[in-house]
Amino acid sequence: MVRQLVFVRETGCCFTAHSGVGKTRALMMLEHLVRRRMPEVLVIPHNTWNHQVVSIRAFYKHFLAAIGHPDLRGETFDLRHRLIRRLVDMARANKSPVVLLLIDEANAMRIDDFLFLKDVYNELDKDGIQLITVMMGQEPDFGDVLALLRERGPA
């Protein structure tokens, strides 16, 4: 599935399942398989908090923490710039034109979080880096979020 996403340059995909099905374990297995079978792909696991991130600054801080960046201080512009630069640097160090972001507990994301991700995607694209996002979320919550996104239409 991930090979297909990389090959056709898709931006990502979403999976939903009910509580207790093994969503987190499935993402862990996917991470392991991709690292083994596609070592050229930079894989970043990201666990969305089970409470909503209430600001764009918090979104970028949480994302910076997920990639292991030590500096979480600064204004929104600085945080965003730091995140993009770190992702580009990590991809280039890995000799990878692709960053695979695996998001667990995506049902906790707000609509704005998807727009922030789109901004990250667009900025990475300017540097020739493709961001592919695989999201895993719990039903019915994530299904409701996806329905809201479809209802809202393209941003």
pLDDT in tens, 131-147: 999 999 998 888 888 88
SS3 47: strand
Instruction: Categorize the per-residue pLDDT at 108 as very low, low, confident or very high, splitting at 50, 70 and 90.
Output: confident
Give the C-alpha distances (Å, rounded to integers) separating 114 from 107, 108, 128, 155. 11, 11, 21, 10
pLDDT at res. 107: 87
Residue 88 pLDDT greater than 70, yes or no: yes
pLDDT at res. 7: 67
CATH number, domain with residue 44: 3.40.50.300
Strand pairing class (98-104; 12-17): unpaired
Domain span holding position 107: 4-17+25-152
pLDDT at res. 115: 86
Neighbours of 133 (CB within 10 A): 23
Average confidence (pLDDT) over 77-98: 94
DSSP code, position 52: -
* 47-85 confidence digits (pLDDT tens): 886 655 568 888 889 889 989 999 999 999 999 999 999
Tally the domains of the chain. Answer: 1
80-82-84-89 Cα dihedral, nearest 10 degrees: 180
pLDDT at res. 47: 87
pLDDT at res. 8: 72
pLDDT at res. 25: 94
* 10-41 confidence digits (pLDDT tens): 788 888 889 999 999 999 999 999 999 999 89
Between 8 and 111, the more confident residue is 111
